[in-house]
Structure 1
Amino acid sequence: MAGVALSAIGPTLLPLDREGRPLRPGILYGVDTRAGAQIAALEAEIGAERLLAHSGMALSSQATGPKIRWLREHEPEVWAQTQTLTTASSYLTYRLTGRHVMDHHTAAHAMPLYDPGRRAWTAAFAPLVLGERGLELLPDLAWSDELAGHVTPQAAAQTGLRAETPVAVGTVDALSEAISVGAVHPGDLMVMYGSTTFFVLVQEAPTPDPRVWTVGGAFAGQHNLAAGMSTTGSLTRWFADELAREAPTEEAYHTLFAQAAQLSPGAEGLLLLPYFSGERTPLNDPRARGVLAGLTLAHTRAHLFRAVLEGVGYGIRHNIEAFRDLGAQVRRLVAVGGGVRGRTWLQIVSDITGETQELPEVTVGASYGDAFLAGLAAGRLTRADLNRWVRLADTIHPNPHLKATYDRLYGLYRDLYVQTRPTVHALGSVGG
């Protein structure tokens, strides 16, 4: 084995003790909305405009800074033992190498502790997050393809890896997925169809905006815009588990997608907001919830499932429009993740967005990108090798005849959120 690279969910907050042992389960990325009060407090203490100018994005449930403050305020016994604040992929790299190091893409979400202009941690607002503790709690910083260290003898004994094998810094799974499909050039947009839908857009220069996330890229000097929906693949899984229990999951999926493909756009008058776990970008509304509008006695399970697929499609369009609204260039869209295995969902998304989607030959996801990062860190590959690493297998083109229909439905989708938001927020306080 020439090298190792790791990626994992993130940005996730994991406190470690002085022996490098986790003190509690990790606090997840934007789907964990526990730090709402801490976000409000930091915005009041620093100012929303000043935060945006400092970090290039607004505080949201994706940020780990407020979650660090939550940990300090709500679990003082854990905080007292904490010696390192890390994330999932960085923890795995530490276990292999003995070094605490975090990539710049992930670190950007630790706002307001990260200065994107200097590409460094900053003490400017540290007391508001860390209290009396200092930046020594945070890992070293590096780029995803840089060398973190080598497999230690202890890690070799535990894993079976060869001691002294080079280990890359690594990153979050979504950025590795972007690398896996060659989305590394300005204007490349990766859309990851996973449990959540994640977006990574490569830019020549940052374009800060409170609706999305301005972060570092995989390689030195790169800029990314990132965005993420909260409930997409997990919503189709929920649907299959709860409403198609008569068959094993894979068989249920096959039936549901086949039936949805036979229905006309709009699911015969159904419209769904896919905010079953709140919504991240561009709404940044942790109190949002799912809404299904237009039900009649004529609708079937297949209509409901088509509405789910279309609801996610409208959310994808909403994020792409947010990118373009702030002046970012989207020149090429590449799809990856578990949701690309069938054409039905991809075709619906292309029809709704009006975007052509490229499908690479290999879509195994983050592990393929990790392998490339490992090759870079080990000196076995160069970035130019990505041209032969990624090959195009298929292209999904939008149906121009459906544009008018989906434009109208998308407008109704946007209106439905605004019109139901007060009711949905009020319902969130009912029943605990």
Structure 2
Amino acid sequence: MPRNAVIGVDIGTSSSKGVLVGLDGTLIRSAVREHTPDRPGPGRFEMDASVWWREFGELSRELTAAGDTTVVAVGVSGMGPCVLLTDEHDTPLRPAVLYGVDTRSVAQIRRIEKELGADAIIARGGSALTTQAAGPKIAWIAEEEPGLYARARRLYMPSSWLVRKLAGAYVLDHHSASQCTPLYDTHAGDWYAPWAEQVAPGIDLPPLRWSGEAAGVLTAEAARETGLPAGIPVTTGTVDAWAEALSVGAQHTGDLMLMYGTTMFLIHTVPEPLTSPSLWGTVGALPGTRNLAGGMATSGAVTNWLRDLFTGADHTELTRLAAESGPGANGLLLLPYFSGERTPVMDPHARGVIAGLTLSHTRGDLYRAALEATGFGVRHNIETIEAAGGDIRRVVAVGGGTQGPLWTRIVSDIAGRPQELRTVTIGASYGGALLAAQLVADVSIDDWNPVRETVTPRTESAARYDELYALYRRLYPDTMATVHALAAVQDR
């Protein structure tokens, strides 16, 4: 007799991932569809929403092809905040503008800050206005593509678009809304109409629910397209990093989640709202939770870039060579700002820098320097979180970068923090499956996904990394004028 199970699907930057999970948390099956965002110009990252729905259908059919399960609920998540605008019939008007990796909205940020006041935006919305926020992205479309914008009526993100296709519902979760600065009031827990009408005129913003609430049930049409049973509940969903945090139980006060992926994301759960001009203050995925969050624009993206440059090498070989290189990468230092930088630098015009190169440096040294750059960026964010009033008591790691021991070891050594690793580190899709399971059963993440090991920092590396971290912090201001000039050349 087929066992009951749930499906979780996450739409990420470089792939869509799906999992089929038993109600006891057992990972029955997983599947992946890789994709590449479009880059129509410097600092621009977009994706067609048809990719998200097509890949969901492919994943759901692959996961259930064996016929050994009965799917009883669906959970979704996706990269964000993204901006997909549709007309009143839910026809997408253009490809979605992606989250903070897309830096096109600098002029709109300046204008909106001048009109609303930078301090007022932080006070009401929890975050400074940056290229991460959805509000300026909407404003960019309104200003640069006015004919198209005149037909825009609805706002979607990857997770809410899947909900629309699956359940026919127009809805968004509170956390995603809180990243739509300055449209959302984090204190009132609702859209702030005066600013929404000013920044996103004509858009009928979606009703809001919490991530684990049911948005509706699978329609008959969606059942035909996905192979899933009609009538099963579909979660409201959320942004991928917040689903990642749920997948490893990092939602308690004092927790910090580190998400190792194409980008690095950090989510610290706090007991009351905290704000910082260098971080993002948001509501959490669950009712009553608050977060202070950060994100690096690249992490795994840089290691992928190096892999592609080094013909014939793969990550396994490069990781082995990086381990042989040893702490400090034989005197190499890398700034990982290859797509600008998000927190705490908040500089869309930042660029990558590799300092200290000699003719004796190897592929392993360069790959090691990239891994260490993530560690230095994490340490910089942690120090900024704590300076803003955060109290980090536990660090939990998740994501593809936790699969091998080297990267997490390097980050713990540099940041001086132990990291818990759970049994399942697949991430957001598993978190989405958990929320789906909680719609139909009484389950907890500690039962589903217990801790399997803790990576502790090594004291013998501390002095070396302290010295290099000081140089890392100096390297950005010392090179800023040069890389800004180069960014201007690239943007021509």
Using the size of structure 2 for normalisation, the TM-score is 0.84
Aligned to 2:84: 14
**Aligned residue number for residue 405 of structure 1:** 464
Q: Which secondary structure state, in structure 2, belongs to the residue aligned with residue 358 of structure 1?
A: strand
Q: In 2, distance between residues paired with 1:83 and 1:309? A: 43
Give the CA RMSD over aligned residues. 1.2
Supply the distance in 2 between the matched residues of 1:51 and 1:170 (Cα, whole angstroms).
Answer: 26
TM-superposed deviation, 1:130: 2.1
Alignment match, 2:382: 320
1:180 maps to 2:247: yes
Q: 2:156 aligns with which of 86, 104, 114?
A: 86
> Could you say which residue in structure 2 is the equivalent of 1:309?
371
Match among 425, 439, 445 for residue 363 of structure 1: 425
Query: CA separation in 2, counterparts of 1:154 and 1:80?
Result: 30
Query: Displacement, 1:205?
Result: 0.9
**Separation in 2, partners of 1:20, 1:160:** 23
Partner of 2:97, secondary structure, is coil
Partner of 1:273: 335
Task: Give the conservation status (yes or no) of the 8 Å contact 2:245–2:257.
Answer: yes
Superposition map of 1:253-272 within 5 A:
253-272=315-334
Counterpart of 1:160 in structure 2 is 227
The answer to whether 1:245 aligns with 2:311 is yes
**Which residue of structure 1 aligns with residue 481 of structure 2?**
422
Report the alpha carbon displacement of residue 415 of structure 1 after superposing the two structures with TM. 0.5
Q: Is the 8 A contact 2:321 2:363 kept in 1?
A: no
Aligned to 2:262: 195
What is the CA-CA distance between 1:320 and the residue it aligns to?
1.0
1:269 corresponds to which letter in structure 2? G
8 Å Cα contact 1:352-1:407 kept in structure 2: yes
Cα distance in structure 2, aligned partners of 1:312 and 1:119: 33
Are 1:2 and 1:380, in contact at CA under 8 Å, matched by a contact in 2? no
Quote the offset at 1:154 in angstroms: 1.5
Q: For each residue in 1:84-125, what CA deviation from the matched residue of structure 2 results, as whole angstroms up to 9, or x when unmatched? A: 111111011011111111111110111111011110011122
CA–CA distance in structure 2, aligned partners of residues 305 and 387 of structure 1: 35
2-structure distance, mates of 1:130, 1:347: 44
Distance in 2, matches of 1:253 and 1:98, equals 41
Does structure 1 residue 208 correspond to structure 2 residue 268? no
**Matched residue of 1:351: which SS?**
helix
Shift of the alpha carbon at 1:126? 2.5
Amino acid at match of 1:126: A
Identity %: 50
- Residue 58 of structure 1: which of 109, 128, 135 is its match? 128
Structure 1 residue 365 displacement after superposition: 1.0
Partner in structure 1 of residue 17 of structure 2: none
> What is the rounded CA distance, in whole Å, between the counterparts of 1:344 and 1:387 in structure 2?
26
* Residue identity opposite 1:254 in structure 2: T
1:381 aligns with 2:442: yes
Match of 1:125 in 2: 195
Quick one: which amino acid aligns to residue 87 of structure 2? D
Query: 1:216: how far off?
Result: 1.2
Per-residue CA deviation, residues 319-363 of structure 1 (Å, 9 max, x unaligned), is: 111111111111111111111111111111111000101111111
User: What per-residue deviation string (whole Å, max 9, x for no partner) do you get for residues 352-393 of structure 1?
Assistant: 0001011111111111111111122x23135xx222112111
Q: Which runs of 5+ in 1 are unaligned?
A: none
Q: Displacement of 1:75 after TM fit?
A: 1.2
CA distance in 1, matches of 2:458, 2:327: 11
CA drift at 1:61: 0.7
Q: Tell me, what secondary structure is at the counterpart of 2:159?
A: helix
Partner of 1:42 in structure 2? 112
Query: How far apart, CA to CA, are the structure 1 residues paired with 2:312 and 2:223?
Result: 45
Alpha-carbon offset, residue 128 of structure 1: 2.7
For the pair 1:292 / 2:362, whether they are aligned, the reply is no
Q: Which amino acid letter does the alignment assign opposite residue 166 of structure 2?
A: L
1 or 2, which has the higher strand percentage? 2
**In 1: Cα distance, 2:315 partner to 2:445 partner:** 33
Amino acid at match of 2:478: Q
Deviations 1:13-51 (A, max 9, x none): 000122212111110000000100000101111111111
SS at match of 2:395: strand
CA deviation after TM superposition for structure 1 residue 223, in Å = 0.7
2:73 is paired with a residue whose SS is: coil
Instruction: Tell me if structure 2 keeps the 8 A contact 1:42–1:128.
Output: no
Q: Which moved more, 1:294-303 or 1:316-325?
A: 294-303
Give a deviation string over 1:31-90, Cα, whole Å, max 9, x none: 000100000101111111111111111000110001111111111222122121111110
Amino acid at match of 1:81: R
Which deviates further from its counterpart, 281-290 or 11-20?
A: 11-20
State the distance in 2 between where 1:66 and 1:266 align. Answer: 39
Unaligned runs of at least 5 residues, structure 2? 1-70
Shift of 1:276: 0.4
CA contact (8 A) 1:372 1:381 kept: no
Match of 2:25 in 1: none
4+ residue stretches of structure 1 with deviation over 6 A? none
d(CA) in 2 for partners of 1:286 and 1:345? Answer: 26
> Secondary structure at 1:364's aligned position in 2?
coil
Match of 1:28 among 84, 95, 98: 98
Using the alignment, how far apart are the partners of 1:256 and 1:275 within structure 2?
21
TM-score of the pair, normalised by structure 1? 0.95
2:292 pairs with one of 204, 213, 225: 225
Alignment match, 2:407: 345
AA partner of residue 262 (structure 1): E
